[in-house]
């Protein structure tokens, strides 16, 4: 028979154990946060993009009212090579990237699309970057990033990272191989950075223009190492979050004002390059051969994020309730009162 004194002693021991357990749990939690702080921060920025992208959205979306720019391009000549009377901030350079299989087959696959952009920009410098020339460029200009660039899990990551390096070092316009130019890019040269809006948030990196040594593009290069992870172990997530559109949009959203307002985005859906579409500037043939089985999975997660969150909260509540019931049963058993079980 448990006496009142024994009961009091047992209660004190249980309380001490509970406090010790909670203290150790708290210390372990804080230690885990400290050890994984960089991963937690980068993960949070990726998850929070829909909210952070919308902040001051109107300041960087190109418009007639705020920027005196005709986003339909109807008032600009098809062959306009300069932003005159505005200053040309972007140098007249075109970059196309043909790594991997594209390096040997682009002349048969994308010769017409690439040539359309070269032809409509007479006098502009033009580069077709292949495995050899790109590798030499990275080794010479970004030697600290060369090992990471060489060891990217997927070829498209090397292409994306190369976009940022080229734009930072040379400036100009970088274009996907499947973009056919319908007009010259001259009117856009007045902006230090410009890219088309993506759906549902962020911007597309299939076409970007930037001034040489642009600070934002420099930030895209500087953050590559921090976001270089095998996100969720899935190809699509890894590419999008480590080097792709989602990554670039997160860095854009992190730029402070008023600087972020200078990083202009062509409004969607008019200029969005989603699938096979025709915009005022391009005909996009919609090549996305690197997308794999998990693309639909990631997109479905995004559409069902609120359901996933509520499921997680419900699961945690169930675990906590079951733990409380089990502790109550143990306590009642020790007290010898089975009527409360």
Q: DSSP assignment of 126-139, as one string?
A: EEEE-HHHHHHHHH
Average pLDDT of the residues in 36-55: 81
Is position 166 within any domain? Answer: yes
Q: Cβ(173)–Cβ(244) under 8 Å?
A: no
Answer yes or no: do 240 and 337 share one domain.
no
Which pLDDT score, from 0 to 100, does residue 326 have? 58
Tell whether 147 and 250 lie within a shared domain: yes
Same domain, 285 and 339: no
Q: Is the pLDDT of residue 323 over 90?
A: no
Q: How confident is the model at residue 320 (pLDDT cuts 50, 70, 90)?
A: low
Residues 244 and 329 in one domain: no
Note whether residue 151 is domain-resident.
Answer: yes
pLDDT for 289 equals 45
| 117 falls within a domain | yes
pLDDT at 297 exceeding the cut of 50: no
Give the residue with greater pLDDT, 4 vs 92. 92
Position with higher pLDDT, 325 vs 308: 325
Task: Judge whether 197 lies within some domain.
Answer: yes
Residue position matching structure tokens 């140098």: 91
> Mind listing the pLDDT tens digit for each residue in 243-278?
999 999 999 999 999 999 999 999 999 999 988 999
| Nearest alpha-carbon partner for 129 in 99, 86, 164, 89 | 99
Q: Which domain holds residue 143?
A: 56-292
Q: What is the CATH number of the domain that holds 278?
A: 3.90.550
If asked whether residues 267 and 127 sit together in one domain, one would say: yes
Tell me if 309 is assigned to some domain.
Answer: yes
pLDDT band, very low/low/confident/very high, at 129 (cuts 50, 70, 90) = very high
pLDDT higher than threshold 90 for residue 25: no
Q: Say whether both 72 and 213 belong to one domain.
A: yes
Closest CA to 98 of 86, 88, 108, 83: 108
In the numeric block, the tokens 């190109």 are attached to 62
Q: How many domains does the chain have?
A: 2
Beta bridge partners of 188: none
Going by the DSSP 8-state scheme, the letter that residue 167 receives in this structure is H
Whether residue 235 is found in the same domain as residue 316: no
Q: Which of 31-40, 93-102, 178-187 has the highest mean pLDDT?
A: 178-187
Match 């939690």 to its residue by tokens. Answer: 29
Residue 33, in any domain of the structure: no
pLDDT of residue 331: 52
Does residue 31 lie within any of the structural domains? no
Query: pTM above 0.85?
Result: no
With respect to residue 24, please indicate whether it lies within any of the assigned structural domains.
no
Same domain, 96 and 168: yes
Q: Are residues 121 and 190 in the same domain?
A: yes
What is the distance between the alpha carbons of residues 86 and 98, in angstroms, rounded to a whole number?
Answer: 33
Q: With a cut of 70, say whether residue 3 has pLDDT above it.
A: no
The band of 26, judged by pLDDT with boundaries at 50, 70 and 90, is low
Give the separation between CA 337 and CA 341, rounded to whole angstroms.
Answer: 8
Distance between CA atoms of residues 179 and 117, nearest Å: 8
Going by C-beta distance under 8 Å and a sequence separation of 6 or more, which residues neighbour residue 145? 138, 161, 165, 221, 224, 225
* pLDDT value of residue 34: 58
Residues 124 and 94 sit within 8 Å (Cβ to Cβ): yes
Mean pLDDT of 39-68: 90
Residue-averaged pLDDT of the chain:
83
Cα distances from 100 to residues 150, 154, 176, 206, 336, in angstroms, run: 12, 11, 14, 17, 74
How far separated are the first and last CA of the chain, in Å rounded? 18
Residue 21 — pLDDT band, cuts 50, 70, 90?
Answer: low
| pLDDT value of residue 321 | 56
Among 8-12, 83-87, 188-192, where is mean pLDDT lowest? 8-12
Put residue 68 in one of left, alpha, beta given phi > 0 → left and psi -120 to 50 → alpha.
Answer: left
Q: Are 287 and 178 in contact (CB under 8 A)?
A: yes
Output the pLDDT for position 338.
43
């Amino acid at each position: 028979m448990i006496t009142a004194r024994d009961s009091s002693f047992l209660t004190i021991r249980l309380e001490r154990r509970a406090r010790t357990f909670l203290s150790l749990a708290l210390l372990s939690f804080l230690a885990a946060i400290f050890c994984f702080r960089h991963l937690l921060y980068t993960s949070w920025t990726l998850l929070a993009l829909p909210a952070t992208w919308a902040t001051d959205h109107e300041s960087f979306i190109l418009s007639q009212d705020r920027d005196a720019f005709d986003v339909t391009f109807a008032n600009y000549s098809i062959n306009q090579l300069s932003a005159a009377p505005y200053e040309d901030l972007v140098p007249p350079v075109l970059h196309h990237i043909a790594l991997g299989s594209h390096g040997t087959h682009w002349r048969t696959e994308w010769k017409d699309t690439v040539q359309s952009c070269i032809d409509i920009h007479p006098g502009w410098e033009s580069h077709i970057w292949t495995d050899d020339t790109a590798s030499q460029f990275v080794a010479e200009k970004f030697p600290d990033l060369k090992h990471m660039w060489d060891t990217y899990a997927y070829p498209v990551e090397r292409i994306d990272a190369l976009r940022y390096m080229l734009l930072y070092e040379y400036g100009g316009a970088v274009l996907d191989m499947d973009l056919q130019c319908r007009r010259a890019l001259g009117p856009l040269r007045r902006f230090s950075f410009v890219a088309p809006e993506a759906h549902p948030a962020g911007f597309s990196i299939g076409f970007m223009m930037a001034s040489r040594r642009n600070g934002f593009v420099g930030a895209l290069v500087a953050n590559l190492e921090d976001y270089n992870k095998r996100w969720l172990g899935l190809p699509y997530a890894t590419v999008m979050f480590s080097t792709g559109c989602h990554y670039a949009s997160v860095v854009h959203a992190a730029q402070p004002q008023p600087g972020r307002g200078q990083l202009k985005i062509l409004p969607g859906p008019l200029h969005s390059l989603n699938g096979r579409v025709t915009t005022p500037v391009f005909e996009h043939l919609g090549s996305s051969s690197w997308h794999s089985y998990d693309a639909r999975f990631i997109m479905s997660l995004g559409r069902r994020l609120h359901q996933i969150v509520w499921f997680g909260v419900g699961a945690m509540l169930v675990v906590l309730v079951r733990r409380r019931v089990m502790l109550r049963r143990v306590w009642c058993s020790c007290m010898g009162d089975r009527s409360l079980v």
